[in-house]
């Protein structure tokens, strides 16, 4: 086989294989314009795929006869701009994922699946010399052609196609004139929107307090890349700082990228950005259809839109003049993609800042331990807001020991009293419970049997409306059984409390006040969440019942009492990160209370009132609490002091996945390069069976990121060769949960 002497185009394709593919240019294609990041359409097996050019080489290792030609070069300009391309390359390498899949994930859906160009052009029609001189009567009785010619004579610079059709000129008429040589077509770019750095604001900013002024000055002083941790208690005015830092950025003619955890959950946030600025603000939310999203994407890419507010994947949006990146609620778990290309958008945001040489601001009241550690050791610049903005005070905590206490529907008398007083004073109450549904189990009162999900071996949650059992892990649902699956007794009773049941109970206990339940079940309908939130905003006394959806950034001015019915589950979970996540959730929920005027109260019910971590958290605050956890992690060599990766495997036949990981584990132990990397397991995952698949994992740990990366690289060809068809495997670098 003779290697090809022709120029070949290297293409990354959206397939799991971790390699690029070589293609020949087609016919007379000019190779000079084929730059990395450009979209191409290529034959792949029997299919045509859209891929991204990664390079052009003078020759290939494969013979000409093995190589196929590119079917089409798409677009004029690269869809993946140079900095985004570099980011994707880095991410594919670090997260051990196929570059083609990473690049595909970085593109809007339409560019991934359709070969139309995104470079919207508009056709302009103009008269030719002949068209200008010809007498209208020479067109005979063709009235419509005369009419078109007449209109174009009034517009010597031509008219855009939509304008002409809007004036009633049929495209067929224009084409006839074209054939006669009377008119010609020009392609214009879309009309460019412009925004002006001199006219950025639509409303005047708030006057910052001293701490805020200092924080803003720090951030604005950045010249090029720097990472900031803006650690500010809930309600300290972090968002106001983002707005003013963005103002500074826009005034230099640059764009800003704002990542938020779940835009659908906090419509308020996007609204605040749109209200503040006179420049185009794009929100990437789920109500956009693919076409609208592509349009916004193009405007951001070309610098016509000034600000992008979006979730995780917005990170990959090309922006011509990027000047600032903000990651709001940086500790939020939704920044980690949990399947397929498992990346952490917060970490990649920092990498993007580095590549584009722009500052990155990570904001949170409860920073992730990794982030806090980096801020304390000086790798990030640490800016602190210790007080609430305006007149608001931080809420007081009150712990209720519920050991041996008689509870009404899971609530202690003191709590019920507090709720009553709050409501009667015209304020709002939030009851937080992180379990949706009616009850976590439906149990046989005679023998203790309960139904497990047939696909997950996990108890099924009981729902009342509509009545069903529902597996929250795989979505399997079935009707409520009439009798026990073991002893046939008909005495099946819901045990424990979920949002639905709590809603019912509270409505009975407080008949005069509306109960508003906010969880995934009550917010599925479009706009449902916004409607619920609006009711709360109106400020009438009410009880809000909800899950962690309520923890995210909401601002309810009339809310003064927050109750957490059961904090214990989170304190004793098996996942080593569970304590950190529980504390973050608790502080965020607590932070919804007393945000305007009157001081708020947070009531916690627990069987563990003297739990040391709970004590530290409540008495000394999140920062001290985090210090204790960080010290604990240091002893264990866990992040941020060690680096982790999981090699996960699953199969419908349990033996296959565990045998595969056993083999990988032994092989890894024998690698000389293993020095400095520990291999633990394999062990069943925390959720050992999910959706009919048995799940196992092998954990790799090292004190050195580089050593871990080298071992993972070795692993991949070995895993690809030994997994076999029935085992699904994946690598999770820097996992955030172990389930
Ligand atoms: P965070 O993002 O830290 O939770 P926000 O930016 O939402 O805090 O601010 C909380 C509340 O305080 C908002 O209603 C905001 O308008 C108000 N606020 C922020 N900064 C100031 C300020 N300097 N003066 C008065 N009110 C402020
Ligand atoms: Zn039974
Ligand atoms: Zn299930």
Ligand 1 and 364: CB distance under 6 A: no
Residue 200 is assigned to a structural domain of this protein: no
pLDDT at residue 3 greater than cutoff 60: no
- pLDDT tens-place string over residues 283-331: 987 778 888 899 999 999 989 999 999 999 999 999 999 999 999 999 9
Phi, psi torsion values for 429, nearest 5 degrees: -125, 140
CATH code of the domain in which 50 resides = 3.40.1440.60
CA 234 – ligand 1 centroid, Å: 9
**Any idea which ligand is nearest the CA of 237?**
1
Q: What are the C-alpha distances in Å from 172 to residues 143, 144, 175, 625?
A: 13, 10, 5, 73
Residue 198 is assigned to a structural domain of this protein: no
Residue 72 is assigned to a structural domain of this protein: yes
**Any idea which ligand is nearest the CA of 364?**
1
Ligand 1 and 232: CB distance under 6 A: yes
Nearest 5 degrees, angle CA 655-CA 660-CA 661?
105
| Of 188 and 461, more confident | 461
* Residue whose CB lies within 8 A of the most ligand 1 atoms, among 235, 236, 242, 266, for a mutation test: 235
Closest of 570, 566, 555 to residue 600, by C-alpha = 555
Other beta carbons within 10 Å of 718: 14
Residue 390 is assigned to a structural domain of this protein: no
469 in Cβ contact with 462 (< 8 Å): yes
Ligand 1 and 389: CB distance under 6 A: yes
609 in Cβ contact with 571 (< 8 Å): no
CA 458 – ligand 3 centroid, Å: 7
Among the atoms of ligand 1, which is closest to the Cα of residue 242?
6
Q: Note whether 505 and 522 are same-domain residues.
A: yes
* pLDDT band of 677, cuts 50, 70, 90: very high
**Any idea which ligand is nearest the CA of 242?**
1
Q: Which two tokens stand for residue 729?
A: 């495997």
Ligand 1 and 234: CB distance under 6 A: yes
Residue 739 is assigned to a structural domain of this protein: no
Among the atoms of ligand 1, which is closest to the Cα of residue 557?
14
Going by C-beta distance under 8 Å and a sequence separation of 6 or more, which residues neighbour residue 396? 599, 600, 601, 602
Domain total of the chain: 6
Burial 136-160 (b: 16+ CB within 10 A, else e): eeebeebebbbbbbebbeeeeebbb
- Choosing from 584, 608, 633, the residue where a domain stops is 633
Q: Note whether 225 and 358 are same-domain residues.
A: yes
**Any idea which ligand is nearest the CA of 272?**
1
- pLDDT tens-place string over residues 435-485: 899 999 999 999 999 999 999 888 999 999 889 999 998 899 999 999 999
Mean pLDDT estimate for the chain:
90
The mean-pLDDT minimum among 21-35, 345-359, 511-525 falls in 21-35
Q: Note whether 628 and 513 are same-domain residues.
A: yes
Global pTM?
0.88
Ligand 1 and 433: CB distance under 6 A: no
Rounded to whole angstroms, the Cα distance separating 544 from 546 reads 6
Q: Which two tokens stand for residue 702?
A: 């090292």
Q: Which two tokens stand for residue 684?
A: 């069943």
Give pLDDT, residue 62.
Answer: 72
Q: Note whether 307 and 429 are same-domain residues.
A: no
- Choosing from 587, 604, 633, the residue where a domain stops is 633
Q: Which two tokens stand for residue 551?
A: 């923890």
Q: Note whether 365 and 463 are same-domain residues.
A: no
Give pLDDT, residue 120.
Answer: 63
Ligand 1 and 679: CB distance under 6 A: no
CATH code of the domain in which 692 resides = 3.30.70.600
238 in Cβ contact with 372 (< 8 Å): no
Pairing mode, strands 677-690 and 693-702: antiparallel
Closest of 233, 602, 618 to residue 430, by C-alpha = 602
CATH code of the domain in which 304 resides = 3.40.50.300
Residue 709 is assigned to a structural domain of this protein: yes
Rounded to whole angstroms, the Cα distance separating 320 from 296 reads 13
pLDDT at residue 53 greater than cutoff 80: yes
Ligand 1 and 600: CB distance under 6 A: no
Rounded to whole angstroms, the Cα distance separating 604 from 326 reads 33
Q: Note whether 235 and 350 are same-domain residues.
A: yes
Q: Note whether 595 and 511 are same-domain residues.
A: yes
**Any idea which ligand is nearest the CA of 366?**
1
Count CA atoms within 13 Å of residue 737 on its CB side.
16
Give pLDDT, residue 77.
Answer: 86
Q: Note whether 130 and 140 are same-domain residues.
A: yes
Pairing mode, strands 643-651 and 728-733: antiparallel
- pLDDT tens-place string over residues 258-279: 999 986 666 778 889 999 999 9
pLDDT at residue 190 greater than cutoff 70: no
Phi, psi torsion values for 696, nearest 5 degrees: -135, 160
pLDDT at residue 2 greater than cutoff 60: no
Q: Quick one: residue 688, left, alpha or beta (phi over 0 = left, psi -120 to 50 = alpha)?
A: alpha
Ligand 1 and 387: CB distance under 6 A: no
Q: Note whether 60 and 172 are same-domain residues.
A: no
Give pLDDT, residue 289.
Answer: 86
Residue 193 is assigned to a structural domain of this protein: no
* pLDDT band of 549, cuts 50, 70, 90: confident
Rounded to whole angstroms, the Cα distance separating 251 from 636 reads 47
Ligand 1 and 390: CB distance under 6 A: yes
pLDDT at residue 572 greater than cutoff 70: no
Share of the chain above pLDDT 90, in %: 59
Q: Note whether 617 and 583 are same-domain residues.
A: yes
Rounded to whole angstroms, the Cα distance separating 397 from 604 reads 7
Q: Note whether 608 and 683 are same-domain residues.
A: no
* pLDDT band of 97, cuts 50, 70, 90: very high
Residue 104 is part of which domain span?
Answer: 8-113
* Residue whose CB lies within 8 A of the most ligand 1 atoms, among 231, 386, 390, for a mutation test: 390
- pLDDT tens-place string over residues 689-733: 999 999 999 999 999 999 999 999 989 999 999 888 899 999 999
pLDDT at residue 160 greater than cutoff 60: yes
Q: Note whether 620 and 504 are same-domain residues.
A: yes
**How buried is 380 (Cβ within 10 angstroms: 0-12 exposed, 13-18 middle, 19+ buried)?**
buried
Q: Which two tokens stand for residue 322?
A: 């990027």
Nearest Cα residue to atom 20 of ligand 1: 237
Give pLDDT, residue 222.
Answer: 96
Closest of 111, 113, 183 to residue 147, by C-alpha = 183
Phi, psi torsion values for 570, nearest 5 degrees: -70, -25
- Choosing from 113, 144, 173, the residue where a domain stops is 113
Give pLDDT, residue 640.
Answer: 93
Residue 194 is assigned to a structural domain of this protein: no
Give pLDDT, residue 1.
Answer: 47
């Amino acid at each position: 086989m003779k290697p090809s002497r022709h120029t070949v185009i290297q293409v990354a394709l959206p397939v799991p294989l971790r390699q690029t593919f070589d293609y020949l240019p087609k016919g007379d294609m000019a190779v000079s314009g084929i730059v990395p990041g450009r979209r191409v359409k290529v034959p792949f097996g029997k299919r045509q795929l859209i891929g991204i050019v990664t390079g052009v080489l003078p020759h290939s290792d494969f013979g000409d006869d093995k190589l196929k030609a590119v079917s089409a070069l798409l677009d004029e300009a690269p869809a993946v701009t140079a900095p985004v391309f570099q980011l994707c390359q880095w991410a594919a390498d670090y997260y051990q994922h196929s570059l083609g899949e990473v690049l595909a994930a970085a593109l809007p859906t339409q560019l991934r699946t359709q070969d139309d160009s995104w470079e919207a052009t508009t056709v302009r029609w103009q008269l030719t010399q002949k068209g200008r001189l010809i007498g209208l009567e020479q067109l005979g009785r063709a009235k419509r052609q005369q009419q078109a010619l007449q209109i174009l004579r009034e517009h010597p610079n031509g008219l855009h196609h939509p304008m002409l059709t809007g004036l009633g000129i049929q495209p067929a008429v224009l084409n006839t004139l074209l054939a006669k040589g009377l008119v010609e077509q020009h392609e214009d770019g879309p009309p460019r929107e412009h925004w002006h750095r001199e006219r950025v604001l639509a409303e005047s900013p708030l006057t910052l307090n001293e701490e805020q002024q200092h924080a803003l000055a720090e951030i604005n002083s950045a010249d090029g890349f720097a990472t900031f941790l803006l650690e500010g208690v809930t309600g300290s005015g972090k968002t106001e700082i983002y707005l003013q830092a963005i103002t500074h950025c826009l005034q230099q003619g640059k764009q800003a990228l704002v990542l938020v955890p779940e835009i659908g959950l906090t419509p308020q946030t996007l609204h605040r950005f749109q209200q503040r600025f006179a420049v185009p603000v794009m929100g990437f939310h789920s109500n956009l259809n693919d076409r609208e999203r592509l349009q916004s994407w193009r405007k951001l890419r070309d610098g016509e839109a000034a600000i992008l507010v979006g979730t995780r994947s917005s990170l990959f949006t090309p922006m011509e003049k990027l000047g600032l990146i903000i990651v709001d609620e940086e500790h939020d778990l939704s920044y980690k993609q949990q399947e397929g290309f498992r990346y952490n958008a917060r970490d990649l945001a920092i990498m993007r800042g580095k590549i584009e040489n722009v500052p990155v601001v990570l904001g949170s009241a409860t920073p992730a331990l990794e982030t806090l550690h980096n801020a304390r050791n000086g790798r990030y610049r640490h800016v602190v807001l210790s007080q609430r903005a305006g007149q608001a005070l931080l809420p007081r905590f009150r712990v209720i020991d519920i050991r041996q206490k008689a509870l009404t529907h899971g609530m202690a008398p003191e709590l019920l009293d507090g709720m009553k007083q709050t409501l009667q004073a015209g304020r709002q109450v939030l009851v937080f419970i992180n379990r949706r549904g009616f009850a976590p189990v439906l149990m046989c009162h005679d023998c203790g049997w309960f139904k497990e999900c047939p696909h997950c071996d996990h108890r099924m949650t009981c729902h009342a409306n509509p009545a069903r059992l529902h597996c929250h892990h795989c979505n399997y649902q079935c009707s409520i059984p009439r009798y026990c699956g073991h002893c046939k007794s008909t005495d099946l009773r819901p045990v424990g409390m979920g949002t639905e049941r709590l809603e019912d109970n509270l409505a009975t206990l407080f008949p005069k006040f509306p109960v508003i339940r906010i969880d995934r079940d009550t917010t599925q309908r479009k706009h449902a969440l916004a409607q619920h939130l609006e009711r709360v905003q109106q400020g009438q006394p009410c009880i809000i019942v909800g899950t962690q959806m309520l923890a995210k950034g909401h601002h309810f001015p009339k809310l003064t009492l927050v109750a957490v019915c059961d904090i214990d589950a989170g304190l004793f979970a098996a996942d080593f990160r569970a304590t950190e996540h529980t504390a973050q959730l608790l502080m965020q929920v607590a932070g919804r209370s007393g945000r305007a005027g009157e001081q708020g109260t947070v009531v916690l019910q627990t069987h563990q009132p003297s739990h040391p971590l709970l004590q530290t958290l409540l008495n000394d605050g999140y920062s001290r609490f985090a210090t204790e956890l960080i010290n604990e992690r240091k002893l264990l060599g866990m992040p941020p002091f060690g680096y982790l990766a999981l090699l996960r495997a699953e199969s419908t036949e349990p033996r296959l996945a565990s045998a595969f990981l056993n083999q990988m584990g032994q092989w890894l132990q024998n690698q000389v390069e293993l020095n400095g990397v520990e291999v633990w397991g394999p062990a069943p995952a925390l959720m050992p069976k999910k959706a009919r698949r048995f799940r196992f994992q092998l954990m790799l740990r090292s004190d050195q990121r580089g050593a871990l990366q080298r071992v993972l690289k070795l692993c991949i060809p070995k895993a690809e060769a030994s997994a076999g068809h029935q085992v699904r495997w994946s690598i999770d670098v820097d996992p955030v949960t172990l389930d």
